[in-house]
């Protein structure tokens, strides 16, 4: 069993039951749900079904930490961080930022908090206004902070230099830059408001490998320099491993596993995590040949009508009857490792026997903890 106070994954979990918030939780998300209506009919358009994009997700982020969120397309990872940014309205659950509930806060109520939460988008091409010069793109948020004239220009030039661009290029348009440089502009724009938390949505996926490494290095430098916290969303598990302290794995709107980064890769507990890791070829021919590859069959089911019980049971090689019937709760394993699975991998019988139900479990999950085989 994991130790109470020092529990690195769910530090606030038990305290929360007593109504208290543990120190250091910058972001505290409980049972967050985002459903998108699917409308049918032309005249009387009504919601006939819902896309379960994010379905009862709880997680915490501590100050200075990088939380990686991984999963395949359609798993809800982007919707999740857009909701945390308050760009999408949640259907249920709560979001607390530094102890303050912002779940349904209006623009005005958000106020200063909005500045502290910034986002970097996947596609630097479409997230920069093509008709604005770089100086204007970075200058707009600076103006919001009350800077103007020479001070504004100077600060914009500083920001450009900080992200590794030539400050003399301040009057250029986005199309005059390469993809990697545009991503740097996006990062400079986010930095302009001196954020504390940055949501990074696939920030390097559109870039070439050698440029990816440059941007990853830049993000790490900025984190150390400004004490930033990151939520880093990506489908590339190797990049996520490189940047993250902790990683959450999502499948069809649910978190199936959360763990410290190294632990997740060494000892994946959920069969989906294991399958994901196994699917990635290692850029090393000898190690690749030595590895036994188990290709997982099928494709993710539709999030409009997700499977009952464990959502992965339709593709899981270990699925049994219980997986179809009972949604597994997130069980707490040693080392701050949570996994929602009835048939956990890479764990000892003693570890299985010692599990407890995490308060981060979905409300619809059953009470059945995994049984030692």
Burial of 153 (0-12, 13-18, 19+ CB in 10 A): middle
Residue 295 contacts residue 281 (beta carbons within 8 Å): no
Residue 118 binds other proteins, judged by CB under 8 A: no
Residue 317 binds other proteins, judged by CB under 8 A: no
Minimal distance, residue 156 CB to other proteins, in Å: 17
Q: Which stretch binds other proteins (CB under 8 A): 123-131, 282-290, 321-329, 343-351?
A: 282-290
**C-alpha to C-alpha distance for 275 and 345, rounded to whole angstroms:** 11
Q: Which of 137, 237, 255, 352 binds other proteins (CB under 8 A)?
A: 237
Number of residues that bind other proteins (CB under 8 A): 51
Q: Which stretch binds other proteins (CB under 8 A): 82-90, 143-151, 294-302, 363-371?
A: 294-302
Residue 305 binds other proteins, judged by CB under 8 A: no
Residue 22 contacts residue 50 (beta carbons within 8 Å): no
Residue 367 binds other proteins, judged by CB under 8 A: no
**C-alpha to C-alpha distance for 332 and 259, rounded to whole angstroms:** 10
Q: Which of 54, 170, 276, 323 binds other proteins (CB under 8 A)?
A: 276
Minimal distance, residue 49 CB to other proteins, in Å: 18
Q: Which stretch binds other proteins (CB under 8 A): 42-50, 114-122, 272-280, 341-349?
A: 272-280
Burial of 357 (0-12, 13-18, 19+ CB in 10 A): middle
Binding mask 180-199 for other proteins (x = CB under 8 A): xx--x---------------
Residue 179 vs 366, nearer CB to other proteins: 179
Residue 195 contacts residue 117 (beta carbons within 8 Å): yes
Residue 115 vs 242, nearer CB to other proteins: 242
Residue 117 vs 207, nearer CB to other proteins: 207
Q: Which of 48, 129, 158, 288 binds other proteins (CB under 8 A)?
A: 288
Residue 310 binds other proteins, judged by CB under 8 A: no
**Binders of other proteins in range 136-165 (CB under 8 A):** 164-165
Minimal distance, residue 266 CB to other proteins, in Å: 9
Residue 31 vs 315, nearer CB to other proteins: 315
What secondary structure, in 3-state letters, does the chain show? CCCCCCCCCCCCHHHHHCCCCCCCEEEEEEEEEEEEEEEECCCCCEEEEEEEEEEEEEEEEECCCEEEEECCCCCCHHHHHHHHCCCCCCCEEEEEECCEECCCCCHHHHCHHHHHEEEECCCCCCCCCCCCCHHHHHHHHHHHCCCCHHHHHHHHHHHHHHCCCCHHHHHCCHHHCCHHHHHHHHHHHHHCCCCCEEEEECCCCCCCHHHHHHHHHHHHHHHHHHCCEEEEEECCHHHHHHHCCEEEEEECCEEEEEEEHHHHHHCCCCHHHHHHHHHCCCCCHHHHHHCCCCCCCCCCCCCCCCCCCCCCCCCCCCCCHHHHHCCCCCEEECCCEEECCCCCCCCCHHHHHCCEECCCCCCCCCCCCCCCC
**C-alpha to C-alpha distance for 86 and 66, rounded to whole angstroms:** 19
**Binders of other proteins in range 57-86 (CB under 8 A):** 72-73
Residue 283 binds other proteins, judged by CB under 8 A: yes
Minimal distance, residue 73 CB to other proteins, in Å: 6
Q: Which of 109, 176, 208, 305 binds other proteins (CB under 8 A)?
A: 208
Residue 304 binds other proteins, judged by CB under 8 A: no
Binding mask 247-266 for other proteins (x = CB under 8 A): --------------xx--x-
Q: Which of 14, 98, 241, 267 binds other proteins (CB under 8 A)?
A: 241
Contact positions vs other proteins (CB under 8 A): 72-73, 164-165, 178-181, 184, 208-214, 216-218, 220-221, 235-239, 241-243, 261-262, 265, 275-288, 293, 295-297, 299
């Amino acid at each position: 069993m994991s130790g109470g106070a020092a529990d690195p994954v769910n530090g606030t979990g038990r305290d929360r039951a007593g109504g208290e918030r543990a120190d250091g939780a910058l972001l505290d998300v409980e049972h967050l749900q985002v459903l998108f209506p699917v409308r049918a009919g032309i005249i009387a358009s009504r919601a006939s079904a819902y896309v379960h994009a994010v379905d009862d997700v709880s997680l915490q982020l501590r100050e200075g930490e990088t939380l990686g969120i991984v999963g395949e397309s359609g798993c809800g990872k982007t919707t999740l961080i857009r909701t945390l940014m308050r760009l999408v309205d949640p259907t249920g659950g709560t979001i607390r930022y530094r102890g303050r509930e912002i779940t349904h806060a209006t623009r005005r109520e958000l106020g200063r908090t909005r500045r502290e939460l910034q986002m970097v988008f996947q596609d630097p091409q479409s997230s920069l206004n093509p008709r604005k010069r770089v100086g204007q793109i970075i200058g707009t948020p600076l103006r919001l902070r009350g800077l103007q004239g020479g001070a504004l220009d100077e600060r914009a030039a500083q920001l450009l230099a900080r992200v590794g661009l030539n400050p003399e290029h301040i009057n250029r348009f986005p199309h005059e830059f390469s993809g990697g440089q545009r991503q740097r502009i996006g990062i400079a724009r986010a930095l302009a408001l001196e954020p504390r938390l940055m949501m990074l949505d696939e920030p390097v996926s559109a870039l070439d490998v050698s440029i990816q490494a440059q941007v990853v290095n830049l993000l790490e430098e900025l984190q150390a320099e400004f004490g930033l916290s990151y939520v880093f969303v990506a489908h590339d598990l190797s990049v996520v491993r490189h940047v993250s302290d902790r990683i959450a794995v999502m499948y069809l709107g649910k978190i199936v596993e959360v763990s410290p980064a190294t632990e997740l890769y060494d000892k994946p507990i959920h069969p989906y995590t294991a399958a994901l890791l196994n699917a990635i070829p290692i850029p090393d021919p000898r190690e690749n040949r030595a590895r036994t590859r188990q290709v997982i069959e099928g494709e993710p089911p539709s999030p409009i009508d997700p499977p009952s019980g464990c959502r992965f049971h339709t593709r899981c090689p270990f699925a049994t009857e219980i997986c179809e019937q009972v949604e597994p709760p997130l069980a707490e394993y040693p080392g701050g490792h949570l996994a929602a699975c009835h048939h956990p991998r890479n764990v000892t019988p003693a570890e299985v026997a010692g599990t407890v139900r995490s308060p981060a479990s979905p409300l619809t999950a059953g009470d059945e903890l995994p049984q030692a085989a």
